[in-house]
Structures are given as C-alpha cells and as structure tokens.
Structure 1
C-alpha cells in the first residue's frame, strides 16, 4: 500500500496516521485515513457506500453511519464544510468521490516544514521532529491514533490564536498547539513532572473498563504504563524530588454507612513504574469523608481537600508522621477548589460563603490568610459557575477555563478574558515548571438518544463492536456531539432533549421529522435537567444553575432565584412547583421550589441523586448510597426491595411503577402497590442514563464516543 501521497496541498502520511498542511500536522483515526486511501486510489470516481465499507471494514459489521463519521472527520481535516465539497463529494444514493488532485510520493522521505508548499492559507508553526530512541520501556501500542485536531483547531492555533492573556509587559501568546496523546481511550488529569521531562496522566480504556496511570517522555514521546487495572482515581501530584506520585483512589466500601465509596491516599514509586507497572501503596483511608485534589508542598506535606458531611475543608497531611491538620476551614464558608505555587509556597483557594458570595483567598501552608477578596464575575462567566484557577507565570494572576474560553483571575479578584473561543472544550490548565508551556485536557462527548421496547424478550447485548447499538436499538436523535435527557411530550408526539450539536448545550424539540432548537443560551452553557409542563406546551430547564421556562411558540421566562439551582429533577406546572438540588449558604440541599413566589422549602439538608414526584404528591428519591426512599409518612420510608438496585443511571416513574437500572446494567421495574420487582433486560455498558418511559417504550442515552486527550500549548514570551 502506498504510504505517502498528496491530496491537493495536503500531505498524507499513512505510516503515521497524519495529514500535514504547511506547518500544521493533524493525526486522524486509521479507519478515516483508510477511507481516504481507497478514494484516492480511485480519484474522481464515485464509490458506493457498500464498496467503501467492504474495503475498510471487511472483517467487521458496521452501519453506514460509521462511514459517514469518517467522511466528516476527513472533511474537517481538509477544512471542507461539506457544503461546497471541494475535496470529498457526496453523490446522492450513489456514494462518494475524491475530487481533489492526488499526487503519489514514491520517495519515502519524511516530510518537514520545508517540503510543504506555500499557499495563502494561514496555519501555526509546528516543527515535525525526527523520532528519537525510547527511554527505559516504550509502549508499542502508543501509535494507535484517533482524531486529534480538527480544522477549527487549526484556526485556533494560528498566529492570531495568540491566546493573548493580557496586553501588559507580562503578557504571552500561544505559539503552537501540540497533541500529546492520540488514542481511542480517554486521557485526563495531566501534570508535568518536577523537571518537566514527563507528563503523567490517567488513561481510561473504555471497552475494557480499565483505568491506569501512564507517563509520556516529552522528548522521545515514549509512553509507559505505570499501574495495572486501577479503580477510579483523582488528580495526582509529584513529590518534590520527582520520585513518588500521590493520588486519591475511590473504592467500594464493604459496609457503607455514610457514603458508598471509600477514599484512599495512594503513593507510587515513579522510577520503578517506568521499568514495569507497580502496585500503589495505601497510606491513608477515609470511610466517612471524601478526599480529592492532592498537592505536594514543601517540607514533606500534602495538601488535600477533605469533605466531612457537606462541607469541604483544606487539610495538610504529613508523610513522615502520618498526621493531618486543618489548613483552612470555616462554618461560614465552603472550599470549592485550590491551587499550590511551588515558587511562592502559597495556596490560592476559591470559596463560597453562607451569603452565596465567591472569594479568592491566598493562604500559607501553615494556615495564615494573606489576603481575601471577592471575585468579580464578568458577563462572559455565568454568575453561579464554580471556577478552579491554577497559578500562572504572570505576576499575581491565576488562569482557569470555562470550557471553550480561558480567563485570568488576579490576586485582586478581577477576571479577564484571555482567549478566542475554542472548537472543543479545553480544561484543567497546568503549567510547565519553566512556565513556557500549558498542559490542558481537550475532548468531546458523543452520545445518542435511543428508544427500546421493554416488553417481551430481552435483546442479546453484544459488546464486541462499537456500533452494535445502532442495530439493537432505535436511534432517534444523533449527531457527532452529545444528545441526552430526552423526555416525551405529555399527550403529544414531540420529544424534548439537550444537545450540543450547535456547539453550545441547548434545548431541542423533535417531532420525529423536524428538529428545532428552542433555547439560545450563551457560550459554555451547561444544562442539568429539563421537564415538560402537563399541557405539553412548555419546558422548564436548568441552564448554568438558573431556571428558564421555554414555550413552543418561542417565548421564554427566567426565574431569578437568589440561590444556584444545581440540578432540576421534576416540574409540576399546574402547582407551579419543582424539585431540585440547590445551594443554600454554600451547601447543597434537596428542596421544593415555589416558582410563583420564587421561594423554596428545604426537604433534606443534603443533596439527593435523583427524585420524582408521584401523582399522589409523594416523592421517590435516591440518596448518596443510591438507596430508594418514599415520602408521605411521619418519616421517609426506605424501599427495602430496591436496596441493591440503585445506581447513578437515574430512574423514571410511570403508572405506579419505578423503572431503574442497577450497577449490573439490568433494566428493572418495581410495582409500588404490589411491591413486586421484575428484571426486564440487560443493557450495554455504554448506557449513560435512563431518561423517560411511556407504556412499553423507554428512552436512554447511549455513549458512542468519549474522547479526552492531552494537548500542550507552547508559549512565546
């Protein structure tokens, strides 16, 4: 097979799964490039879908949607919007053809920047380095690539992306954007080693349900698996000498009393792990409180966030003595996030007080408060958004991301926008020890809405192929982004759901033939809950922790509550009430909302996982242990038959039945009056949520692809 050739001004290198244009390199999925290769070999000719599917996926049964995704990926890489179809043309009911000129390269030489032709298109400078020999142990499978950079990413990375942080003497621009990981898996929680010669990150292999810690050498690009089949893990931190990694691991509690997960502080010998994967050591365990966000501090101490009951505090754990002490905690405030500066030996805390005010506090590791200022939110940042800033090389400024926008936060509490909107969310900024690079997490979430018959025999679930759901379930709403939270219109045929297909999380309505965007929320919006009115003419939704009523006629109404609405569960439009988790005095609580008077009544002093109201007014909810409770008596009643049936997949009430999904992904039905539990079918592990049930039809959200990767932004001083 020809490994290198030109398509127009784009250089295709199949040996590296890359498309190169001027100074910019994109890494694509091997299957997408295989489609391109078949089209290139028949340039100008129309190839049917069946012929392309047979040529590329000859040993796998997939649907035409899989081919369409590959075509969409290629068009993005070429900067072809699919309308003019300059490169790849669609021929209705016939297939596809490659229209651009193809020039085959028989030199087998590595293409550098100087080999690429100059055109009028502008792209960022990116040096293509020769391969270097690996250090201790190189992962042979690290070359398997997926899409890394789309055409829009190119636009961001060009000289104008200049992600200008602030036009003052200490400002800096982004010179280059480089993808550090490009696998079919999900990478996150990336940090640099103390010397900056490694990046360390989590890699979750979706098909195998395995999460491990990996390292990548920043010069040789060699990858090393450091652990073997870990459970859920949080962020990690290096000791000052770079010899030890510390992180928090979650495990199922054997006898859960107050929480379902136990939290362990773990250590890992980094040097030994580079030679072969190691088993981490537990150095502290919490069964009645939660731990997260460890950070190594000078003097052999670890900073950690610890939650006991409902409030988060910052503690200091001493490795040598195995003792913990409080750094910062207050009954009047809740710690949202914190960052640690090695250079300044200083902690930056973001907190929320009992009045709902957000503050930035600078605190020493000994607990001395250096300063405390109110954070001044600009219009671009939603007023109830919780931010997690990191220290930056700029003098007295931190930096944070809201998704597709970057901001600085000064020590005085002022926020300033510093970047152009991004094509995909980028979060968790972490600076290189030299301050000349930023490590961020870039990714997308592709989820479809499916319906299934819950009467009759259960379908055989085949996990072998990624697209098996398209033949086993009726996909009713799909795109290359995220759809979810679908609910049936009462007494109607419409469907309401949330979708990011327009680039921003919005509310959409479909009648099965046409789909309409109903909301028009701003950049980096996030929807957490939507519900129909009983007459099927309006939708209540929670967007950026505020409630909005959207009517099908295009009008809308805002309910200006003075507290954040964290999660919307249920809406009774006749009584003008709703059920939601809200943040009161900085803490999450379960409440009943009166939308007419903009008041609320706290039902529980802690949040619930999910809740629905029955026709008789009683409430069914699940607690933090995923147990089902029913209100209506002197005190809430535990539904004993469902103690082992709860999960984070939500539940639905329909005609005196509870429908739910347990941790074994079994769909079940429970009759409240007869107290009878029936297992209905086993669903795939790619299921995210059960969202609605009407008679014998259930709506579910299916995860198609969840991609996160490490990206490095190189700064020019």
Structure 2
C-alpha cells in the first residue's frame, strides 16, 4: 500500500511512520499492519477475527493483542477511547477508522515561503528523526518491560495496624478522617472496625462477627453498607448467599451496631456494594452466576437493572461521584478482561478492553477504585500498584516489598493511598484414608499430619506416580516454584527466573516428568530440573490430567474459544474433546468427559451433548475434582466426597478436626491409603499508608 493521509497525519508506509507537522512517530510492524487493514475499508467495521487473520496469520496471540495495537494508534493520532474521533470501538465486534483517509497524490503539498529555512528545517528534522529511530530501536531491542513503569509518587510507608489479627479492605470516609476495614478472627469470620486517623484510636463498628464484605461509605459519611452472611458453619439453607446490610456510623460511634438488612439474598448472592446517593446503592447480583449490576433505592425498596451482558460477566465495581460513573470490571470465558464505564445518569456505557501487562497476563482479579480527582483507576497485583487510564492502559508502580499488596484506595485528597499488605499461609496436610466397597461404599480418614509448612503458601501437593514422594507449589524461595520431596529430602525442582503463576500441573504415568502451565505455555519439567517449553497452536490454561504416556488433557483457548483437548506431546497434535468453558475436567472411565461449567455444576459430556451429572446435583460448589481408581473424588461442604463410578454409590466423610481449616483437595492415593489437602494456617495482613508527609 502506498503512503496515505489519515486526517492531518501522513502515513509513511515504507518507513513505518506517522508524520505530522511537528513530529514523526514510528510504528511497530503489527501496529502498522492493523492501521493498514483498517485503512483498506475506511468507515467500515473491521472485525476482531479479520484483524487477527490478517495481522497474526497462523499465530497464537494474547487476547488483548488487537486492543493494545488500537491503543497505540489512538495515542499516535491524538485520539482516545473516550472521544473516538479517529478510531471507533464497536464492542464485541471490531473497530472502524472514521477519520478521512486520502492517498498522498490527492493532496497538494504546502509550499514554504522560505526555501532556505525549509531545507535547514528538513535537515534538522532528518537528524532528530534519525536519533529518534536509533532510540526507538534501542528500546525495542532491549529486554521488554512488562508495562509502563514509574516510581510511586510517595516516599513514606506508615503501618496503620499491627495486631495479631488480619486486616483487609480499607476504605476512607468521605472527609478522610476515618478508615473502615475488615478484621478477620477466623478464615471466614470477621468484624468491621473503624480507625480514627486524627485521634489514632479504633472502635468496633459491628456488634458481633459474621462474614462481611468490603464496607462502603454513603456520600454524607453517615452510613456504611456491605454484603454479609453468617460464618462458615451457618446452618441456613443457602449458607453461601450474601445479603446487603448497613449500619449507622453516627450510632456506632457510641456503641457497636447490629447490622440491619437492606436486601435479603434468598438464593441470590450480592457483592461489591457501592453507594450512588445517600438513598441508593449499586451492587453485583450473582444469582445463578449470571452476574448483573443492579441498584437498590432504600426508601422505596425498588430494584433496577443497570448492566447485563451474557458474554462479559461483572466481577467488581467502583463508583465515581465526580464523573457519575460506575467502573465495572468484566471478563468473558476466554479470559478477556475489560472495564465498562457506565454513566448512572444517562445510562450510556463504554466498553474499554484492559491492556494488561504481559507479566500479569494470567492475573484475573482486577478490583479497581477511582482516583478522587483524576480519570484513572487504582489496582494492585502481587507486589505492584497500577493506575489504569480510561483507554485501558496500565502504569505500574513496583514496590520494594517482600509482601503482596491488596485493595488499594486513594484518600479523598488524592495525596495518599491506603492498602493491605501481607501474605497467605497454606500448609500441606495429610491423612490416612481407607475405602471399603464390599457393602456399598464407606470412606474413613484418620491420623492427621502436617507434612510441609512455611511462612508462605504451600499448595497443589501431588504424589509422584508409583512412589511415596510428593511435589507441591511454593514461593518459599521468593518466587513460585515446584518443590519435590524425595525420600524425605526437600529440594526446589524448578528454576523459573521470572515471576510466574503455576496454574496447574500433573505427573506423567511413569513419574519421570511433570507437565505444567504458566503464562499460557505448556512446559515439561524433568526430575533434574530441566525445563522444556512445548509448541502448541493455542494458549494453555490448565493441565487437567496426564491421560496416558503421550496424551495430556488440557484446557486451552483456541481460535478465540475455550476448549478441552487431548494433546499428544510427541506429535504436537491435538484432538478437541469439548468446546466451551470449564473450571476443571477429567476423562471418565467410559471416555466421556466430566467437567464443571461456568456455574461450577458438574456436567457429563458424551455424544456431543452435556447433561448435569445427576449423582452430584445436590452437592454445592464443586470445583476441583479427580478420578482415581474408578472413583470420583472431590472436596465440598467441608467433607471428602467419593462417588463410585461403576457401582454408582456415594459416600462422604468429615475429617478429624485440626487447628486449620481444610480448603481443598490436592491428591488421593487409594492404593496406599494416602490423602493430601491444603490447610489454611493464617493470613498476615496489615494496613499501611503511602504518603509524603
């Protein structure tokens, strides 16, 4: 394609530059190809699929690759996602180039009144253009940065709490004097507390304890609203559902208050409560896991639907009274994440894909809060704070800390940030497990033992096939690695140099290899610590099962779809088993597929049809599970659940009590009567203040 104009910008195709009256900006090859594709049909919508086919033919790319290129083009043309004067986003469809596009021969170049000055300026522009190219080449060829990084504009870090309890979800009062936060006294039992930052005193907001979500202040500072339910041992029929409750701050200053219920949950589950006015709250309703954003008017009890999308489900929300906008974090089944900016007065919404930094591409839990004075959102992940602009671009502020940072929020003056900092401590727990199927099915467990404990999370424990050895994931060496206990001697098996999350892994049938997935890649790990990345035509989400010597059952994103596939590690070929979302899956003994769907309901897929696995219909919240010795095994309702797939009989057992809460099943070996679980020991979290004075 020859050179052309986009509005007042000349596109120099041969040199991959966009030239304006005062500068020349170089474009990356993929960004230029996106622009050329849009310019082929100006004004018309070019779909995501077309852009992927033309710009990345036969290449597996990150879900936000197109959005990242569009963001760079908008910056080049002085456009943004809010104005969209050059490039328009058509949510869930594609993009269109609406600025005027002309060939260069259709324009008459402007003549300068001083040719000498023109030649001199051209030489100057050529020189600086050359320098610019060298600088760009330097930055492009050096090791890439995971995101735009900057130094945090705060020099001091002051602890606000230092108790033996765990503090979460801090939030400033509208005048900035008070801080509300959750203080946990058990794994799923907490209290709401207030800290007076002026007097440096604390008092309990709620009378008694429960399982309270993050608390939000009403605009006048007189009330606090939050989600709530009873603790872990609640006997209510729907003990997992959360209602919306509130307390009076004015009354609580004299005496802790019993929360009053604003909206009973029934079978719904209400989370992410935010005040819109002193008489109206917004929240996410996760009934049947459909996740809708709704509002509740307190005076009338009227409910209203604010946002719903069958493809993108709300995950969190935050409200800006200055902009009258809700920022709703949403994601779809193939891990695309975006922010929906919803104007609560006009009802107009804008869909903004998040350009998540590559080092955090596997991080899904983005829970932002608005800056009180600027059009940016504040989030945290691992040991970094981020600001997200309204185009979805991230600026990272790495922290010099050994602890992760959570739930950051700006002070109302915009000059301070409060956050929680700390870590979780999970241990590897073991039991002897015995199963008898001579008369029905009976399961028993005894002789509890903590096998491995550190000050960080040790989890995903698995038995090495055919031995008494085991492996697990831990960050005890500073970053997430696989550790291996061989004949009682523990050593670090993997040697990842970069910060990663090990999503899942499985042992080979001969116990000589581990298949794992991290950052979308499938990798093999040997017993001497050698790592081999396998080439796949898709992004790998999870390793579900090592089925036989050569085949792995994987969860992948292929051709913009979630799929479960059988992947042959020798041939590099794959066989699609199921197209659709799955939390977890295992091949059944009859070669059908058992999987948990979007709603965490166990389904069986055979003959191209999915049906609810009726034998577990009444068991709540099935997540991870495994098939061992023709038995379906999982952890649910604080019990070990076992279903004999041949005899079609069910049994469950409550484990002997320990000082820790068991939160999940890791592995089971019925032949050698061994059971591995993850035990929650504690979480160490304190509130800290980033500031300059």
Q: State the TM-score, normalizing by the size of structure 2.
A: 0.66
SS in 2 for 1:174: coil
Give the structure 2 partner of residue 418 of structure 1.
397
The answer to whether residue 506 in structure 2 is matched with residue 531 in structure 1 is yes
Cα distance per residue 1:449-476 (max 9 Å; x no partner): 233322499888xxxxxxxxxxx64443
- Asked if 2 retains the 8 angstrom alpha-carbon contact of 1:667 and 1:683, the reply is no
Q: Shift of residue 304 of structure 1?
A: 1.7
Give the structure 2 partner of residue 301 of structure 1.
280
RMSD: 3.9
The answer to whether residue 678 in structure 2 is matched with residue 704 in structure 1 is no
Give the structure 2 partner of residue 689 of structure 1.
664
Distance in 2, matches of 1:239 and 1:520, equals: 46
Distance in 2, matches of 1:501 and 1:363, equals: 42
Residue pairs, 1:382-397, within 5 angstroms: 382=361, 385-392=364-371, 395-397=374-376
User: Of 522, 526, 543, which residue of structure 2 is paired with 1:551?
Assistant: 526
Give the structure 2 partner of residue 283 of structure 1.
262
Cα distance per residue 1:594-639 (max 9 Å; x no partner): 4644675446x6645x544344434555678887666669864746
The answer to whether residue 633 in structure 2 is matched with residue 654 in structure 1 is no
SS in 1 for 2:689: strand
The answer to whether residue 173 in structure 2 is matched with residue 193 in structure 1 is yes
Q: Shift of residue 416 of structure 1?
A: 1.9
Distance in 2, matches of 1:590 and 1:249, equals: 36
Cα distance per residue 1:427-461 (max 9 Å; x no partner): 1111111222211111111222233322499888x
User: Of 210, 223, 232, which residue of structure 1 is paired with 2:202?
Assistant: 223
The alpha-carbon distance between structure 1 residues 597 and 406, as it changes in their structure 2 partners (threshold 3 A), is farther
- Asked if 2 retains the 8 angstrom alpha-carbon contact of 1:409 and 1:416, the reply is yes
Give the structure 1 partner of residue 250 of structure 2.
271
Give the structure 2 partner of residue 344 of structure 1.
323
- Asked if 1 retains the 8 angstrom alpha-carbon contact of 2:544 and 2:552, the reply is no
User: Of 460, 465, 474, which residue of structure 2 is paired with 1:499?
Assistant: 474
Distance in 2, matches of 1:687 and 1:383, equals: 26
The alpha-carbon distance between structure 1 residues 373 and 452, as it changes in their structure 2 partners (threshold 3 A), is closer
The alpha-carbon distance between structure 1 residues 344 and 624, as it changes in their structure 2 partners (threshold 3 A), is closer
Larger Rg: 2
Distance in 2, matches of 1:384 and 1:173, equals: 24
SS in 1 for 2:250: helix
- Asked if 1 retains the 8 angstrom alpha-carbon contact of 2:622 and 2:634, the reply is no
Give the structure 2 partner of residue 510 of structure 1.
485
- Asked if 2 retains the 8 angstrom alpha-carbon contact of 1:228 and 1:278, the reply is yes
- Asked if 1 retains the 8 angstrom alpha-carbon contact of 2:444 and 2:653, the reply is no
Residue pairs, 1:70-89, within 5 angstroms: none
The alpha-carbon distance between structure 1 residues 683 and 253, as it changes in their structure 2 partners (threshold 3 A), is closer
Q: Shift of residue 501 of structure 1?
A: 0.6
Cα distance per residue 1:629-683 (max 9 Å; x no partner): 666698647464x6676666855443234445553x4546554444263647424
The alpha-carbon distance between structure 1 residues 234 and 575, as it changes in their structure 2 partners (threshold 3 A), is farther
The alpha-carbon distance between structure 1 residues 336 and 700, as it changes in their structure 2 partners (threshold 3 A), is closer
Give the structure 1 partner of residue 421 of structure 2.
442
The alpha-carbon distance between structure 1 residues 705 and 557, as it changes in their structure 2 partners (threshold 3 A), is same
User: Of 161, 174, 184, which residue of structure 1 is paired with 2:164?
Assistant: 184
- Asked if 1 retains the 8 angstrom alpha-carbon contact of 2:211 and 2:229, the reply is yes
- Asked if 2 retains the 8 angstrom alpha-carbon contact of 1:509 and 1:518, the reply is no
The alpha-carbon distance between structure 1 residues 503 and 662, as it changes in their structure 2 partners (threshold 3 A), is same
Q: Shift of residue 484 of structure 1?
A: 0.9
Distance in 1, matches of 2:211 and 2:543, equals: 27
User: Of 574, 591, 594, which residue of structure 2 is paired with 1:617?
Assistant: 591
Distance in 2, matches of 1:423 and 1:501, equals: 11
User: Of 155, 173, 192, which residue of structure 1 is paired with 2:153?
Assistant: 173
Cα distance per residue 1:88-146 (max 9 Å; x no partner): xxxxxxxxxxxxxxxxxxxxxxxxxxxxxxxxxxxxxxxxxxxxxxxxxxxxxxxxxxx
Give the structure 1 partner of residue 20 of structure 2.
none
Distance in 2, matches of 1:625 and 1:356, equals: 16
Distance in 2, matches of 1:283 and 1:439, equals: 28
Give the structure 2 partner of residue 570 of structure 1.
545
Cα distance per residue 1:305-349 (max 9 Å; x no partner): 233545434333322232233333334543343322233333333
Residue pairs, 1:629-648, within 5 angstroms: 636=611, 638=613, 640=615
Distance in 2, matches of 1:630 and 1:354, equals: 19
Cα distance per residue 1:415-435 (max 9 Å; x no partner): 222233421100111111122
- Asked if 1 retains the 8 angstrom alpha-carbon contact of 2:493 and 2:527, the reply is no
User: Of 381, 401, 405, which residue of structure 1 is paired with 2:384?
Assistant: 405
The alpha-carbon distance between structure 1 residues 493 and 221, as it changes in their structure 2 partners (threshold 3 A), is same
Q: Shift of residue 585 of structure 1?
A: 7.0
The alpha-carbon distance between structure 1 residues 416 and 327, as it changes in their structure 2 partners (threshold 3 A), is same
The alpha-carbon distance between structure 1 residues 191 and 535, as it changes in their structure 2 partners (threshold 3 A), is same
SS in 2 for 1:271: helix
- Asked if 2 retains the 8 angstrom alpha-carbon contact of 1:667 and 1:679, the reply is yes
- Asked if 2 retains the 8 angstrom alpha-carbon contact of 1:652 and 1:691, the reply is no
Distance in 1, matches of 2:471 and 2:513, equals: 10
Distance in 2, matches of 1:662 and 1:412, equals: 41
The alpha-carbon distance between structure 1 residues 561 and 382, as it changes in their structure 2 partners (threshold 3 A), is farther
Point out where structure 1 has 5 or more consecutive residues left out of the alignment: 1-164, 461-471
Residue pairs, 1:91-170, within 5 angstroms: none
The alpha-carbon distance between structure 1 residues 490 and 385, as it changes in their structure 2 partners (threshold 3 A), is same
Distance in 2, matches of 1:316 and 1:335, equals: 14
- Asked if 2 retains the 8 angstrom alpha-carbon contact of 1:581 and 1:607, the reply is no
- Asked if 2 retains the 8 angstrom alpha-carbon contact of 1:214 and 1:225, the reply is yes
